[in-house]
Amino acid sequence: TSVKKQLIAALFEANNEFLSGQALAEMIGCSRTAIWKQIEELRKSGFEIEAIRKKGYRIIHKPDQLSENEILMGLETSVLGRNILYFDTIDSTQNKANEVARMDAPEGTIVIAEEQTSGRGRMAREWHSSKHKGIWMSLILRPQLPPEKAPQFTLITAIAIARAIEEVTGKEPEIKWPNDILFHGKKMTGILTELHSEADKINFIIIGIGLNVNQEMPDFPEEVREIATSLAIENGKKVSRVILLQHILKNFEKYYQLYLEKGFGTLKVIWESYVTSIGKSIIARTISGEIVGKALGITEEGVLKIQDAEGQIHYVYSADIEIKP
C-alpha cells in the first residue's frame, strides 16, 4: 500500500502531465512491474487512468471517496459526523461502531466504509454493500432516554434521509414503515437500529444506514435485482456520496434536536407525509406470525397500528410489510 500511496501522490502532483512507468519506478524506488500492478489496482478501485505508449500514465478521474477530509470539508453540523472512522473495507460498520461505542466513542461518531464484506440487515439478513457505490455507515447516539424510545430513531433516520435525497436530487422518495426508503416500490435504503441499554436507560444506539447511491442494475447481485434500486438509477445520473452524506448528517442533527426538545409529535407529521402504506391493506410479517389488515397509522411512540377484518387493532413493533395490490 505504500507504493500505492506514493503512486497516487505522484500522479496527482503531475497535474495532468504524463509520467512514464520508468520515471514513476525511479521516483518511488520500485520496479516497473510493481508500478503496472498498482495501476491495475487503482483502476479496480475506481480510478480512470489513461496509459499511452512512450508517454506514460495520467489520472483522468478519481473515485468519489468518502475519506474523513472530504466529509469534514463543508459539513454543517456541530456534533454528528464530527468524529469519523473511515475504512476502505470492513466486515460491518455496525460491528465496529458497537466496539468503539463500548469504549466511549462520543455521540455523533460515524463509522463509514467504502465496502462491507458482511453487511447485515435485520434478523441477520445480508445487506449488499458494493465498493464505492453507496453509503454504508453507522452512527452512534447517546440520548438520555428510556429504551422503549429506540424504535423512534429508525423513523427519525428515515425522515433525515428522505429530506437529504430531496435536497440533493429534487426527487421525493417514499418511506415504508419501519425502516425502508423506496422509489417506485423498490428498496433504495435500509436502516438498522441497534440498542444497547440498561433496564431504564439507553446507553447508546447504533443506527446503521445502507444507502444505494451509484449502482447500476448489474452492480446488484441477482437475488435483489427485482427489489432494489439506487439513487443514480432513479435520478438518471450519478450523485456525489459526500454531498449526500453531508445533507443526511445536517438534517439528522436538526431533527434529532427537534426530537429531544419537543418529542416525536412534530416529526410524526413529517414522517406521515412520506408514507405510502397508511390507509392501505397490508400484510405484516412479524416473528410471531402474520397480521393482515388495514394500516391505520403510527402511534406517538412510532408503533404501527393495524386493524384486521374483525375490527381488532394490533400494535406492531417490528415487521416486514407488504402492501396488498
Candidate residues 21, 46, 63, 121; the one interacting with ligand BTX per rule CB under 6 A: 121
* Contact region with ligand BTX (CB under 6 A), list: 55-63, 102-110, 220-228, 248-256: 220-228
Q: Please state, in angstroms and as integers, the Cα–Cα distance from residue 280 to each residue in 92, 290, 321, 323, following that order.
A: 35, 16, 11, 7
Q: How many residues bind ligand BTX (CB under 6 A)?
A: 28
Cβ-based neighbour number of residue 313 at 10 Å: 10
Helix or strand holding residue 162 (H, E): helix 150-169
Strand, helix or coil for residue 59: strand
When asked if residue 224 is in the footprint of ligand BTX (CB under 6 A), the reply is yes
Q: Please state, in angstroms and as integers, the Cα–Cα distance from residue 55 to each residue in 34, 61, 144, following that order.
A: 18, 18, 61
Least Å from the CB of residue 176 to ligand BTX:
10
* Contact region with ligand BTX (CB under 6 A), list: 19-27, 67-75, 118-126, 267-275: 118-126
Comparing CB distances to ligand BTX, the nearer of 39 and 181 is 181
Cβ-based neighbour number of residue 168 at 10 Å: 18
Strand, helix or coil for residue 41: helix
Map the footprint of ligand BTX across residues 53-112, applying CB under 6 A. 92-94
In whole angstroms, what is the distance from residue 44 CA to residue 120 CA? 24
When asked if residue 137 is in the footprint of ligand BTX (CB under 6 A), the reply is yes
End-to-end alpha-carbon separation of the chain, Å? 53
Comparing CB distances to ligand BTX, the nearer of 119 and 151 is 119
Phi/psi at 243 (nearest 5 deg)?
-65, -40
Cell of 28: 518511488
Least Å from the CB of residue 173 to ligand BTX:
13
Candidate residues 162, 205, 228, 306; the one interacting with ligand BTX per rule CB under 6 A: 228
Q: Helices H, strands E: what count in the chain?
A: 9, 14
When asked if residue 256 is in the footprint of ligand BTX (CB under 6 A), the reply is no
Candidate residues 38, 98, 109, 116; the one interacting with ligand BTX per rule CB under 6 A: 116
Comparing CB distances to ligand BTX, the nearer of 28 and 228 is 228
On the question of a cis peptide bond just before residue 173, with omega within 30 degrees of 0, the verdict is: no
When asked if residue 187 is in the footprint of ligand BTX (CB under 6 A), the reply is yes
Strand, helix or coil for residue 43: helix
Strand, helix or coil for residue 131: coil
Candidate residues 81, 108, 190, 302; the one interacting with ligand BTX per rule CB under 6 A: 190
Comparing CB distances to ligand BTX, the nearer of 38 and 251 is 251
Map the footprint of ligand BTX across residues 192-211, applying CB under 6 A. 192, 208-210
Contact footprint for ligand BTX (CB under 6 A): 92-94, 116, 119-122, 125-129, 136-138, 179, 187, 190-192, 208-210, 212, 224, 227-228
